[in-house]
Structure 1
Amino acid sequence: MEDTRICFNDNLGTVRWTGSIQGKEGIWVGIEWDDKTKGKHSGSYEGVQYFVTKVPDSGSFLKEPAFLAGLKPGVSIEYAIFDKYADKNAMDFTETYVPTVKNFKKPIELVGTEKIQKRQEQISNLKEIALQSCCVASINEGFGKHLISCEILLLDKNLIISWNQVSQILIEIPQLHTLSLAGNLIEQPLTNPVTHALSILALNNMRLNMTSVIPIISQFPQLQELHLFKNSCNDLNVPIELLSNLKLLNLEDNNITSWQSISDQCKHLPYLEKIIINSNPIRQLQYDGGFENLSALSIENCDLFDWKSIEEIGKIPGKIKELRMARNLNLTETMRLSLFRFNAVARIGSLVMLNGSAVRSQERIEAERYYLRSNADNPDAVNAYRWGELVTKYGPPSEISCKVVSEQDSLSGQNLSKNTITIMIRSLARVSAGKEFKKKLLLSMNVGDLKSMCSKLFGVQTNEMKLSFRDKGNIMPEFLDDNLKNIGYYIMSDDGEIWVEDLS
């Protein structure tokens, strides 16, 4: 029973030991929980070590009767598929009897042949099969004969114990395109590898290191997406031929400390378009060649130290079009979110999406002009990658006006009625970043009422919100900081936008 994967009261774990505990009656079961918060120790009791957990303090003891009472039995993959997807209401049961050893009659149910065929046809038409948390523990031979259309198989958080079971899945479903095994803590090594045309593989949250990943991905010469979120893959020394067809690599939360290790491994991958390295303690990025086709990068919740790293991203020849860089506190704690966005947009000329929100042409103009004007005396900025390009585009910083235009100028030529304005309201707040609504507003509405409306639209509390107005002709934002004033006071025009931000 040891090293068996189990589901106990909907919590996954691995049996590490069974036996007697000194000073306690009965048989006990030692379990290492996948969720370490369920654990109480590392396998010891009153100084005696009965087993050792792989993750500290993730173990506990259960008395055998209680363990058996809460145990959910594992099932075969075929059973799980039919149990979830077959139309049970269409089944035609015929009642009959068989004699027991004591000559009693025991009723049994026989399923009509036509109904069995109908159930199998339902399964054979499925293109995606999702079996998350279904207690799949065994992969029975021949189950794939029903899955002639299956291209996507999601087996997250099940009880698979061996990589050879995964190989059997691949043999059974040769046309499989996408396979997710997230949350399966598979400990038995691969001894029967296969070659398969799989395109997308998700191995998230499986406590893997790159040494254990290499034999797995070696089976997939056409692999295009590899997801390794929340593992221990911080040593990226992988034979480059195993990644040669990758378009997307997800290394989020792997305790990677150096961008250089990622660059050395990935910069020569010819088809790589997107890298996700969120939640890794990376302090600096420096471009040193390669990444010819990289167009999307996600570096949220890292430890980026300064804006030079963002300027380095702008040098990538693949032209980064989509960037996610929220929650880098060293960059955000010293400026408002709107100015943070301006600085990022100005430094990377190819951006079309930032933190999930589109970069519009007018926003780019304002961001680049603001960047020049506000950094004219900053030697680091003057020597930065895009500075010369922006000076050529807009002229010397001293000639760029940041003065708020007059009310007459801002309203001239605009299709604005006397009492109302139609304006885009965009959220940059954490809970709703990227959402936007076009609204027709009364100019007599006060700022407090506008905040209440925005709170309902974007889920931000009014006391945690700040509003600003961006007019087409202005480089600097106009902050709506007086709740009692009418919004008409802030010189709004149809070409402008209202931005909703977190107060801190």
Structure 2
Amino acid sequence: MWSWVEVLSWNVETEMEPPCGRSFMQVLCEKYSPENFPYRRGPGAGVHVPPGPQVSPMKDRLNLPSILVLNSCGISHAGDESEIAAFCSHVSELDLSGNKLDNWQEVSKIVSNVPQLEFLNLSSNPLQASILERECAGTFSGIRKLVLNNCKVSWETVHTLLLELPELEELFLCLNDYENVVSSPGCFHSLKLLHITDNNLQDWSDICKLGTMFPCLHTLVLANNNILAIDDLAGSLARLFPNLRSISLHKSGINSWEDIEKLNTLPMLEEVRLLGIPLVEPYSTEERRKLTIARYLRHIIILHT
């Protein structure tokens, strides 16, 4: 009896595997083979296994889930696009973090053949040197949640993606060594949540640029950036962040109660996270809460200090 991986090798990829890594389809077929992942017999949810050039012993339907996790598998390229389309037409979430994808064209070949895709995690892929063309970025248009942590992608690449992702609601840009924020010529009203933690942002003027680009933000996570002060020149906070409900300033460098008090000008703010900032370190948890809410953030519902 042939193994399922051997059967698929007849029609997935006949060429030799490139020495730099493995294909998306090769890893998919190995991980979700019947030996490694249960499949469903008869009618029901699943993906039909296309017959190979020989009579395939595999006549069942593979119960391939709609959420695929293929992290840290050595994937460097897409593989046969027709096979991706046949197997992944129902997939809505895809985790490709920690692989060897270093070319946006290869990522696009995968994404363009997953028409229902809404969540994509590309964290820790070496994409920093690859140029993303707008035509290529257009294949990402249906994505609502995009994770680009530790990809070291440039702001130019981020802007190109934003222009082509009209439904993007959540964006993760952590661990990308950003020292500043580069403004985009446009603004993007669909984005509700931005994680930009563990970078090297220091100046509040860069945070203001985020407000200009994303005027409908509900959640802004700035933890582990060495932000030293909060500016509210001419009431800019309320104007730039009119919908912000939650902000995290964990482990920032803020050391002034006056700066904390400026957060009161945010009209929709309900939650503030201030763990690990120098200002609250001398106090106990209960003292922090009483001092912060009673004196400086009176309308906050949830406080983490």
Q: Tell me the TM-score range normalised by the shorter chain.
A: 0.7 to 0.9
**Are 1:301 and 2:241 counterparts?**
no
Structure 1 position 220 matched with structure 2 position 162: no
Within the alignment, does 1:190 sit opposite 2:132 as a pair?
Answer: yes
Supply the AA of the counterpart residue of 2:29: F
**Paired residues of 2:219 and 2:244 also in contact (CA < 8 A):** yes
Flag structure 2 segments of 5+ consecutive residues without an equivalent: 1-18, 40-53
Q: Which of 126, 133, 151 matches 2:92? A: 151
Which of 285, 292, 302 in structure 2 is aligned with 1:344?
A: 292
User: Whole-Å Cα distance in 2 between the matches of residues 129 and 165 of structure 1?
Assistant: 18
* Residues paired across the two proteins, number: 260
What secondary structure, in the 3-state scheme, does the structure 1 residue paired with 2:265 have? coil
Q: Does 1:332 align with 2:271?
A: no
Aligned to 2:102: 161
Cross-structure match for 1:177: 118
Matched with 1:311 is 261
Q: Distance in 1 between matches of 2:265 and 2:85?
A: 48
In the alignment, residue 342 of structure 1 is paired with which amino acid?
A: K
Deviation of 1:275 (Å):
0.4
The answer to whether residue 233 in structure 2 is matched with residue 292 in structure 1 is no
Q: Which amino acid in structure 2 is aligned with residue 298 of structure 1?
A: S
- How far apart in 2 are the matches of 1:148 and 1:130? 16
1:127 paired to 2:66: yes
Q: Is residue 139–residue 168 contact of structure 1 (8 Å, CA) maintained in 2? A: yes
Aligned to 1:56: none
Q: 1:225-250 CA distances to partner (integer Å, 9 max, x unpaired)? A: 11100113333223253532110111
Rounded Cα–Cα distance in structure 2 between residues aligned with 1:326 and 1:110: 62
Residues 151 and 272 of structure 1, relative CA distance in 2, 3 Å threshold: same
CA distance in 2, matches of 1:159, 1:184: 6
- Asked if structure 2 preserves the Cα contact closer than 8 Å seen for 1:163 and 1:188, the reply is yes
Tell me the secondary structure at the aligned position of residue 340 of structure 1. helix
**CA radius of gyration, larger in:** 1
The 1:235–1:244 alpha-carbon spacing in structure 2 relative to 1, beyond 3 Å, is farther
2:29 pairs, out of 77, 82, 91, with 82
Backbone CA RMSD of aligned residues = 2.3
Task: Give the superposition deviation at 1:268.
Answer: 6.9
Amino acid at match of 1:167: S
- Secondary structure of 2:250 counterpart: coil
Q: TM-score, normalised by structure 1?
A: 0.48
For 1:202, which of 130, 144, 147 is the aligned residue?
A: 147
Paired letter, 1:313:
L
Identical-residue share of aligned pairs (%): 24
Deviations 1:145-173 (A, max 9, x none): 21122111111000111011122122111
Q: Aligned partners of 1:144 and 1:309: how far apart in 2?
A: 52
- The 1:148/1:350 distance shift into structure 2, 3 A limit, reads farther
- Structure number with the higher strand fraction is 1
Deviation at 1:306, TM superposition (A): 1.0
Residue 113 of structure 1: how far off its partner (Å): 4.0
Is contact 2:187–2:214 with CA below 8 Å preserved after alignment?
A: no
CA distance in 1, matches of 2:58, 2:293: 64
Matched-pair contact (CA < 8 Å) for 2:187–2:213: no
How does the TM-score come out when normalised to structure 2? 0.78
Aligned partners of 1:205 and 1:228 also within 8 Å: yes
Deviations 1:365-387 (A, max 9, x none): xxxxxxxxxxxxxxxxxxxxxxx
CA drift of 1:352 comes to 2.2
CA contact (8 A) 1:257 1:282 kept: yes
Higher RCO structure (Cα 8 Å, ≥6 apart): 2
Q: Is structure 2 residue 270 aligned with structure 1 residue 321?
A: yes
* Structure 1 position 211, deviation (Å): 2.7
